[in-house]
Amino acid sequence: MSYTHDRDLFPKMNYYQYSAEDFAADDDFKAWVHEPTSETNAFWQGFLKEYPERFYQIEEAKRLILGLNHIQKEEVSDWQVERIWSRIDTSIATSQTSTKQRWLNWGMSWKVAAVVLVVAGAVWLAQPSLLKKEIALPELGVKTSPEWTEAVNENDKTMLIQLADGSTIQLDKNSRLKYPKEFTESNREVYLTGAAFFDVQKNPDKPFLVYSNGLITKVLGTSFYVQAHTEAPDVRVSVRTGRVSVYADKPSPTQDPEANGVVLTPNQKAIYQRKEATISKVLVEKPILLIPKTQLNLFAFEAASASQVFTALEKAYGIEVVYDEELLKHCSLTINLSEENLFQKLEVICKVLGAQYKLIDGQVILYSKGCD
């Protein structure tokens, strides 16, 4: 197959679907790794410019391929073989139909191909730990800093990471984060596998983007929590402060992918179903107060109108309460809700008003027949 920048003849979207194992098994990719030419360099340079989130998969595939050159020098232990086999089995089980067809079309069976990956992967595993390893971006010309760092948390405690812009990240156990030593002039990009809490420094001129298993979280400056474990069927983003835009990592030549996403505010959460590529917005399980505890007297009501009560809820939790103002304009409440959490407050209010509520699209929707 000859390389070309014509998408119809050599679609980059196919490679966008590839895992590290897929890249390592691709003949054209292997040819580029072993004997790069100006033509193949130009193709992969263009690919990474268009899909920078594939950087980690490409780097891992290169390590697998280059490891074959040193097979005779390495001893492969049983536990290494089992670890790679487990990874390959998982990859095969979750591959798309097109990916499975590629495996069947190889000149040798997938089992034989997998053995090659087992040996190469074991060589890679035998290398020194990748914890905080410096990763260089050589001739690929990606529009990011030429030096990246990958942090892998294999401890029981949270790992604290401080980025060049002053943002901080609390990386959970069994999670990894790839980030540049210095951000580019246009944006700030990091890549997460696992879970982490982000506290991002505000910079309206330089968006902060988190790529995590098919989902992009875009902020200008806020704090939020991302759960993106490889084995999980979904990716979740919960907002602590500020405003967050969440959308599927599916480039389109005709539409901005962010237009099909959702915007989250504090105490809201997005759930991205990876298989269906759908995003839903809900409330977090335990909404937190956004006001100081000294202001809890806001919930001591005496002959307060329904609108005053719901306004206090919205201010305290940052959550919109939707109700029929006309139906409830004659309702009043005398009640103290200083000690209850959000859902307990809602239960008490509904009992007093003879109403019900539902949680829809990250909002509280209240249904009532009104007051006599």
CATH number of the structural domain spanning residue 274: 2.60.120.1440
Helix, strand, coil % in the chain, rounded to nearest 5: 35, 30, 35
Residues 225 and 165 both lie in one domain = yes
**Closest by Cα among 11, 2, 74 to 47:** 11
Locate the DSSP E strands across 274-351.
Answer: 278-283, 300-305, 321-322, 332-336
Give 105's contacts (C-beta < 8 A, 6+ positions apart): none
> What is the pLDDT at residue 216?
94
Residues 104 and 236 both lie in one domain = no
CA end-to-end span of the chain, whole Å?
78
> What is the pLDDT at residue 187?
84
> What is the pLDDT at residue 22?
81
Residues 261 and 185 both lie in one domain = yes
In sign, the C-alpha dihedral spanning 103, 104, 110, 116 is: negative
pLDDT by residue, tens only, the chain of 372 residues? 444 444 343 444 467 777 777 888 888 888 888 888 888 888 887 787 777 667 777 877 887 787 665 444 445 555 555 556 555 555 555 544 444 444 434 443 444 445 455 545 554 444 443 344 444 444 444 444 448 899 999 999 999 999 999 999 999 999 999 999 898 878 899 999 999 999 999 998 899 999 999 999 999 889 999 999 988 999 999 999 999 999 998 876 677 878 888 999 999 999 999 888 899 999 999 999 998 877 877 889 999 999 999 999 999 999 999 999 989 988 999 999 988 999 999 999 999 999 999 999 999 999 988 886
Rg (CA), the chain: 25
Residues 71 and 142 both lie in one domain = no
Residues 109 and 222 both lie in one domain = no
**Closest by Cα among 151, 179, 147 to 165:** 179
* Residue 7 covered by a domain: no
Using CA atoms, how far apart are residues 287 and 318, in angstroms rounded to an integer? 9
Using CA atoms, how far apart are residues 60 and 216, in angstroms rounded to an integer? 21
Query: Residue 116 burial by CB count (10 A; 0-12/13-18/19+): exposed, middle or buried?
Result: middle
Q: Which of 264, 283, 302 is the last residue of a domain?
A: 283
Residues 26 and 85 both lie in one domain = yes
Range of the domain at 312: 293-367
Residues 120 and 243 both lie in one domain = no
Q: How many domains does the chain have?
A: 3
Using CA atoms, how far apart are residues 269 and 181, in angstroms rounded to an integer? 30
The answer to whether 168 touches 199, Cβ cutoff 8 Å, is yes
> What is the pLDDT at residue 260?
83
* Residue 39 covered by a domain: yes
* Residue 1 covered by a domain: no
Count Cα neighbours of 290 within 13 Å in the Cβ-side half-sphere: 18
Query: Residue 68 burial by CB count (10 A; 0-12/13-18/19+): exposed, middle or buried?
Result: middle
The answer to whether 55 touches 45, Cβ cutoff 8 Å, is no
Q: Which of 96, 125, 154 is the last residue of a domain?
A: 125
Stated pTM of the model: 0.60
**The token pair that represents 243 in the structure block:** 């405003």
Residues 346 and 266 both lie in one domain = no
Q: Which of 100, 125, 150 is the last residue of a domain?
A: 125
**The token pair that represents 345 in the structure block:** 């407050």
> What is the pLDDT at residue 91?
54
